Structure 1
Amino acid sequence: MHGMKPTYDIIIIGLGGMGSAAAYHAARRGQRVLGIERHTLAHTLGSSHGRSRIIRQAYFEDPAYVPLLLRAYELWRQIEHDSGTHLLTITGGLMIGPPDSHTVAGALRSAREHGLEYELLDAAAIRRRFPALHPTEGTIALYEHQAGFLCPEASVTAHLQCAAALGAEIHAEEAVLTWEADTAGVTVTTSRGRYVAERLIITPGPWAPRLLADLGLPLVVERQTLHWFAPTGGLEPFLPDRFPIYIWETEDGTQFYGFPHQEGPPGGVKVALFRAGEPCDPDTVDRVVHPAEIAAMRAAIADRIPALNGNHLAAVVCMYTTTPDQHFIVGLHPQHPNVVIASPCSGHGFKFASVMGEILTDLAIDGTTRHPIRLFDPLRFRAQQAG
């Protein structure tokens, strides 16, 4: 740093899905914001890439997420308007599996509890409406009309561009080395200098175990693979106006998920196994997708979506940062009320980025938020350990 250190209201460490949205919301509220990202902006080395992320409302994980999702949709439309960028495509969505599966039963519970519009389809109705899908008898699906997908890289870019237009200072390719906090404020030391602010938001994605090491949180970073296949017989049955997003739970509890065709590289149709990863370190993760992983993906889709079992076009590696209960970690740092920590991941977080930006800004400025985030209390694991 040359000359006087600039003073900020809020520093944000990590500018992926959550940090970029926090930068935008904090700047909208008139805060002097500095956002710091260790890699390039909208990079492919963390958890906010891969061209598409599912968004849905009949949330099988827990009905407590639904109010956040309803607000998330509003805020996705807001950032689309502010940035002039198309980010959210509504396709409808299928939660597929045996009637008593977590995917189907959990989605039904959330839909009923929150009065969401849905349909229940038996196997014949699924095949009739979506001929590319071949469920076996006894498989059913909850269909929700408002599900769809987001473009993660474009979403990060839109939030950061709007934040910068509102006065936020954005630093890329700058690694955070340490951070300190006391009642006077926070100091962040990076590979380029030291910065001082009143408050700090830490949204480090798979680098959370390192940057939040002092809390001893039970975080595990898992390596995941995403795949694109060229459908035999052409793309037509997989176009977004006729093919939904889906999460499919098989009889043995395996979950896989997929999307309609998206224009642009790598082409084809994207599918992935859900929670099939191995623990990894974000700086040394194996970024090669191996033949056995492609074979495992083929095995999941071969009988269920046979037209997708064509040429394997591409695959990439991304990471989930998971907690034991698979709920997020969002809240004030237990020792430092001017530090907000967020690991809203566990493999199902990106759809919440828009509302998470609002929540993190609320917590940083006001120390509280109107949104229901009790489920995400960072201290809940200590209580479990003590118990």
Structure 2
Amino acid sequence: MEHYEVIVLGLGSMGGAAAHALAGRGVRVLGLETFQPGHDQGAAHGGSRIIRQSYFEHPAYVPLLRRAYEGWHALQEESGRDIVTLCGGIYLGDERNQVFAGSRAAAQEHGLPHEVLTADEIRQRFPTMDPEDDALGLYEENAGYVRPEETTIANAELAAAKGAVLRFSEPVTWWGAVGGGVEVVTTQGRYGADRLVITPGPWAPEVLADLGLPLSIQRMVFHWFTPDFSAVPYESWSQERHPVYVEETHGNEQIYGFPMTDGPEGGFKLGFFRRGTPTTARTIDRQVYQEENAAMQVRARQLFPHLSGPVVQAKTCLYSVTPDEHFVIGPHPAHPQVSVACGFSGHGFKFVPVVGEILADLATTGRTGLPIELFDPRRAALQGV
């Protein structure tokens, strides 16, 4: 049986980053993955993911985001891949809504550069948008998007270049804590290690069944629509002039999206943030239905009245949502030699580099100096109390 210092189970976004970080520290690491790098079966696909720092979900995320930004720029430079684009971001809503108010609170608490724009100022600066008259927007220049497929491929390439052994198309069938170490069985072999990192994505309910985590695996849809360029020219929709955005005003259901990142034929991408339907990673319906596209376009035109053309494409992805929508990162409560990272609740991708660093810390020293108390696998929100 081959033996390693650390095995990483799952080489998607977080697992790939962990394998890369471990290999960079000279650790003898094995990575195991069911699919190929950059696959579209989980949550790390679709061409773009938002990165931002004025974090309305909770100000405690901001220090991790600052560290993640360092990692994003380092990954792009080291890999030579086109990964990071900072086109700015705007978070719109009525004054009491979490999207605007939470973004402003995080920016103020952490001294992040930002502007507060009125509805008229938003319309003037971004002519694609027509918000409610009483809406406000927090604009953050240091926001944009990253390329998820390029990210996972880059981490895999760099991990391998630094000595990691990566085995793709090799599903894991069993793992267990054995003595003070671990064993992992796949369709092709059995491996041993001192430590194990588990990053299962939407397969967490199966892979981490012993934890009984109250995760909701949700089928989500994102859409690309064609704008009316005769009303607002393409340049105003492009990443040279258009920010990423999140918007919810007077309870009209939160949406998020991107500028046109792939030219005038590529479509304008957006989606509902919390309109998911329960599913599993194995049984998800990958077809997107006409009524889903229609509902998205009706909602989108509340903010983008000229997003009137046909749908270019639509795709599904998977969210793994915790009851409090915070992540699950930390040592396995029953097996200290095992570290877990899952339940990223639809907003985890922007943290990929720092999560990889945290998991490498846990796997090598059993602790990390980065703030992860909010993500404790033993917290009350995960215990049904």
Q: TM-score range by the shorter chain?
A: over 0.9
Give TM-score, length-normalised by structure 1. 0.96
Aligned to 2:106: 110
SS of the equivalent of 1:105 reads helix
Aligned to 1:287: 286
Aligned-residue sequence identity (percent) comes to 48
Aligned to 2:51: 55
Deviation at 1:309, TM superposition (A): 2.3
Aligned to 1:232: 228
Aligned to 1:244: 243
CA contact (8 A) 2:214 2:382 kept: no
Deviation at 1:250, TM superposition (A): 2.8
Alignment partners' CA distance in 1, 2:307 and 2:381: 45
Which runs of 5 or more residues in structure 2 are unaligned? none
Q: Deviation per CA, 1:78-115: give whole Å up to 9, x if none.
A: 11111111211001100001010010111111001101
AA aligned opposite 1:321: S
1:130 maps to which of 126, 142, 155 = 126
SS of the equivalent of 1:137 reads coil
Give TM-score, length-normalised by structure 2. 0.97
List aligned pairs for 1:99-178, cutoff 5 A. 99-178=95-174
Q: Deviation per CA, 1:161-202: give whole Å up to 9, x if none.
A: 000000111111111111001333110011111111111000
List aligned pairs for 1:190-205, cutoff 5 A. 190-205=186-201
SS of the equivalent of 1:132 reads coil
Deviation at 1:307, TM superposition (A): 2.1
Alignment partners' CA distance in 1, 2:313 and 2:358: 36
Aligned to 1:343: 342
Q: Deviation per CA, 1:272-329: give whole Å up to 9, x if none.
A: 1101001101111000001111011011112310222211000000010000000000
Deviation at 1:265, TM superposition (A): 10
Q: Deviation per CA, 1:222-247: give whole Å up to 9, x if none.
A: 00001011211152211111000000
AA aligned opposite 2:293: I
Aligned to 1:179: 175
Alignment partners' CA distance in 2, 1:268 and 1:294: 13
Aligned to 1:263: 262
Aligned to 2:74: 78
CA contact (8 A) 1:217 1:381 kept: no
Aligned to 1:216: 212
CA contact (8 A) 2:114 2:140 kept: yes
Deviation at 1:264, TM superposition (A): 6.8
Alignment partners' CA distance in 1, 2:65 and 2:16: 18
Alignment partners' CA distance in 2, 1:264 and 1:235: 9
SS of the equivalent of 1:214 reads helix
Alignment partners' CA distance in 2, 1:50 and 1:287: 13
SS of the equivalent of 1:246 reads strand
Alignment partners' CA distance in 1, 2:120 and 2:15: 44
Alignment partners' CA distance in 2, 1:355 and 1:382: 23
Number of corresponding residues: 382
CA contact (8 A) 2:132 2:249 kept: no
